[in-house]
């Protein structure tokens, strides 16, 4: 069964909206673990509008499962943050400055030389590396040449088209996953996965190891409660 890593950025957004420490980000992370999540994901950005850099240091001290730090590795401050905390995994995302949310994967062909260099930096410290990619076979092939351990399939397109034609929506993801398996890459996935589309995705992606889910899960928790919601997402992965 693929692991569930809960992205807690939205908890940090809520906390920051009023100052102080309510909700308590660290407590939420620990509760997510207690409720069954196998990892915690954070995606700090330069303006610290949700996750603050200090949050990463604080989380590193207490997380018992896997800490996954996502972000733009072209930012020196991000690289330093990751190296200082040596998480289980770093996910390289090509965010532009001021971007609201991630909206595309790396062009692993165009940026091949750079990605090889930065992947080697993190791997030399024993950090597992995942590269955020669109479901394009050629991008998966080029990602494998960087030395990365895994790819993370950017799933917004799948989620957008799921209700209209789920088979068509997932077809490119299956092809990308099959190529990743062939090349020995681990497969993660994330962005807009939810209680409606997660099970179908998990059932049809061969070798899926991990999903990172934040926005939808936190929104569901407003109605269903955090513990119940984490359990419901885990059930979708089992099914």
Q: Which of 33, 50, 152, 191 is catalytic?
A: 191
Q: Which of 33, 70, 152, 210 is catalytic?
A: 70
DSSP helix/strand/coil, 46: coil
Are the CB atoms for 183 and 137 separated by under 8 Å? no
**Interatomic CA distance for residues 235 and 66, integer angstroms:** 20
Question: Is 163 in the active site?
Answer: no
Q: Which of 43, 50, 152, 210 is catalytic?
A: 43
Are the CB atoms for 39 and 4 separated by under 8 Å? yes
Are the CB atoms for 85 and 52 separated by under 8 Å? no
Question: Is 191 in the active site?
Answer: yes
Burial letters 106-139, b for 16+ CB under 10 A, else e: bbbeebeeebeebbeebeeeebbbbbbbbbbeeb
Question: Is 204 in the active site?
Answer: no
Q: Which residue has the tokens 């990743």?
A: 180
Element (H, E) at 128: strand 128-133
The alpha carbon of 134 is separated from its chain's Cα centroid by a whole number of angstroms, namely 13
**Catalytic annotation, residues:** 43, 70, 191
């Amino acid at each position: 069964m693929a692991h569930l890593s809960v992205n807690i950025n939205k908890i940090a957004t809520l906390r920051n909206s009023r100052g102080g420490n309510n909700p308590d980000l660290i407590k939420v992370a620990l509760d997510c673990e207690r409720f069954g999540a196998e990892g915690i994901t954070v995606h700090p950005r330069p303006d610290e509008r949700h996750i603050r850099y200090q949050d990463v240091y604080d989380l590193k001290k207490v997380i018992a499962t896997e800490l996954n730090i996502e972000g733009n590795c072209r930012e020196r401050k991000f690289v330093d943050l990751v190296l200082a905390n040596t998480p289980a995994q770093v996910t390289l995302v090509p965010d532009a400055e001021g971007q609201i949310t991630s909206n595309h994967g790396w062009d692993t062909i165009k940026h091949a030389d750079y990605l090889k260099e930065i992947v080697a930096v993190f791997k030399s410290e024993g950090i597992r590396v995942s590269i955020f990619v669109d479901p394009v076979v050629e991008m998966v092939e080029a990602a494998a040449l960087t030395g990365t351990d895994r790819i993370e399939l950017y799933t917004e397109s799948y989620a957008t088209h799921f209700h209209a034609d789920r088979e068509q929506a997932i077809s490119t993801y299956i092809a990308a996953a099959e190529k990743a398996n062939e090349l020995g890459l681990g497969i993660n996935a994330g962005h807009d996965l939810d209680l409606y589309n997660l099970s179908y995705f998990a059932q049809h992606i061969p070798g899926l190891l991990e999903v990172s889910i934040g926005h939808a899960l936190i929104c569901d928790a407003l109605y269903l409660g955090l513990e119940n919601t984490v359990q419901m997402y885990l059930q979708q992965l089992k099914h």
